[in-house]
């Protein structure tokens, strides 16, 4: 019988299991870089109940000069050393060590192993929609912890949609005064104060994650119309194929899309765009600002092109790199260097790949988020109580794992792919428990696709499902309420 692989997700670039006894965590000390040491102490305490005092045994170190985010982990009975090429690499090595901890009788041990690791893609993201259902700071922090544990390094926050506006802006206070109090199905709304947003950004940075904020426009803007009706068109209800019909001037709590639009030929609209993105840029240290651009069914192609041209230029003028959903790639005037986010299917059925390639042709790159593979809001099984099914039905864990980024968009070279992002839209997601129920374990598939090499002896579905099963005890100890999908042989 073949040995069960180490429960490492994402799987490292190089793993060599060594001969010799394991390292016993009992009585071990810890020394090294403060942030990484704090993270490791927290992981070990949650998993084992053991404390790691200052002292000999485990050494955490940064030695500059290797690939960004790379690390080497060496474990033997005599000690453990993790060396990162930078602080982010060291943090990733700590997460790997946390996955290696296992029980051996009455002892907690780490097997003798040498791991040398580095990521495939620089951008490895998750998106949390806080507009359809609002999620407070504590929930966002918890999701950051979950994502960072799998070496994901970007949190995309979808901060506005038809149902609500979720960030305080002092230049446009009516947005939260008039457009933040409701959510889907009449759930309570909410918004982040500027201090709360800064807290999220800082917490993410402490886990080596970058926050990418999104204000979606020119569509998905019914909430903007509640605050500033003078810059919004009336809802175009004939484009709605399912869901509640919006009423002009009233909050929207349904889930239909495509009906709203800003007035793209009114200069007051661009004063609004400049105000909100300039203030957002000042609050956001990361390099990217997302301005949406998807599902603008109530906007003519000509008007859409006019808006995308001007809005992308506004963001570029703020010394930030714009990101837009792939529909914006159809616009010839898109600001050079804009990043495109592809949300078509893993096997495309429309013009989405052509639009995605256009970003690379204009000096940008592409983030891949194929909806039928990495949209975490899709049901994991047909009978799952939460989630949607519009992206080719339920998305099993196997389907979430069985796709290759370079095979999605024909003609898109690997160096034109910035990375992979797994969005979680929240039409059916109202709590952290709901997030866990949909994100796990499929978030682990997205993490491995983004981090690990495309091929290798352990880059197989059978290996992955076994390794994910081995993480069940760790996830349980971390308070993650994952569904025990039948696809996985869970360790108990």
Cα–Cα separations (whole angstroms), residue 408 to 158, 341, 380, 402, 434: 24, 13, 21, 12, 29
Whole-number Å distance between alpha carbons of 11 and 31: 26
Specify whether 414 is catalytic. no
Q: How many CA atoms lie within 13 A of 410 on its CB side?
A: 6
Cα–Cα separations (whole angstroms), residue 236 to 220, 400, 492: 12, 35, 53
Length of the chain as a residue count? 492
**Bridging pattern class, strands 366-368 and 417-424:** parallel
Opening angle at CA 350, ends 383 and 428, nearest 5: 30
Whole-number Å distance between alpha carbons of 17 and 114: 6
Q: How many CA atoms lie within 13 A of 183 on its CB side?
A: 21
Whole-number Å distance between alpha carbons of 58 and 235: 60
Burial class (CB in 10 A: 0-12, 13-18, 19+), 457: exposed
- The SS3 call for residue 79 is strand
In 296-384, DSSP assigns E strands to 321-325, 339-342, 366-368
Catalytic residue, from 33, 214, 295, 327: name it: 295
Burial class (CB in 10 A: 0-12, 13-18, 19+), 170: exposed
Tokens representing residue 480 in the block: 């993650």
* Active-site annotation, residues: 295
């Amino acid at each position: 019988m073949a040995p069960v692989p180490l429960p490492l997700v994402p799987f490292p670039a190089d793993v060599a299991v060594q001969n010799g006894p394991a390292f016993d965590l009992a009585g071990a000390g810890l020394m090294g870089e403060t942030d990484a040491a704090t993270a490791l102490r927290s992981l070990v305490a949650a998993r084992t109940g053991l404390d790691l005092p200052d002292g000999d045994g485990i050494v955490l170190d940064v030695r500059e000069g290797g690939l960004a985010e790379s690390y080497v982990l060496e474990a033997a009975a005599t000690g453990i050393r993790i060396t990162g090429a930078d602080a982010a690499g060291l943090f990733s090595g700590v997460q790997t060590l946390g996955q290696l901890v296992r029980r051996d009788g009455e002892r907690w041990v780490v097997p003798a192993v040498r791991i040398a690791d580095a990521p495939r893609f620089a951008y490895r993201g998750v998106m949390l929609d806080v507009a359809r259902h609002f999620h407070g700071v504590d929930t966002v922090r918890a999701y950051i912890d979950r994502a960072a544990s799998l070496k994901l390094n970007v949190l995309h926050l979808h901060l506005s949609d038809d149902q609500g506006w979720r960030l305080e802006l002092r230049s446009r206070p009516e947005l939260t005064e008039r457009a933040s109090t409701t959510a889907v199905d009449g759930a309570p709304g909410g918004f982040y104060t500027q201090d709360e947003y800064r807290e999220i950004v800082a917490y993410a940075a402490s886990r080596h994650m970058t926050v990418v904020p999104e204000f979606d426009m020119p569509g998905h803007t019914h909430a903007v119309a509640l605050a500033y009706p003078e810059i919004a068109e009336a809802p175009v209800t004939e484009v709605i194929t399912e869901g509640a019909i919006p009423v002009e001037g009233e909050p929207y709590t349904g889930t239909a899309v495509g009906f709203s639009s800003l007035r793209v030929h009114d200069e007051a609209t661009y004063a609004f765009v400049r105000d909100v993105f300039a203030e957002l840029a000042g609050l956001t240290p990361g390099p990217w600002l997302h301005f949406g651009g998807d599902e603008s069914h109530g906007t003519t192609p000509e008007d859409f092109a006019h808006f995308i041209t001007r809005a992308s230029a506004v963001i570029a003028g703020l010394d930030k790199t714009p990101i837009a959903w792939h529909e914006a790639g159809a616009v010839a005037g898109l600001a050079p260097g804009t990043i495109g986010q592809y949300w078509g299917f893993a096997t495309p059925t429309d013009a989405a790949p052509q639009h995605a390639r256009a970003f690379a042709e204009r000096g940008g790159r592409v983030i891949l988020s194929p909806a039928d593979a990495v949209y975490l809001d899709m049901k994991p099984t047909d009978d799952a109580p939460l989630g949607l099914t519009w992206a080719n039905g339920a998305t099993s864990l196997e389907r979430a794992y069985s796709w290759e980024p370079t095979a999605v968009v024909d003609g898109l070279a690997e160096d034109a792919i910035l990375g992979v992002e797994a969005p979680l839209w929240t039409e059916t997601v109202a709590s952290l428990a709901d997030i866990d129920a949909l994100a796990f374990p499929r978030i682990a598939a997205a993490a491995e696709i983004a981090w690990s090499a495309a091929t290798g002896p352990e880059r197989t579905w059978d290996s992955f499902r076994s390794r994910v099963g081995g993480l069940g005890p760790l996830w349980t100890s971390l308070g993650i309420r994952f569904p025990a999908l039948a696809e996985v042989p869970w360790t108990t």
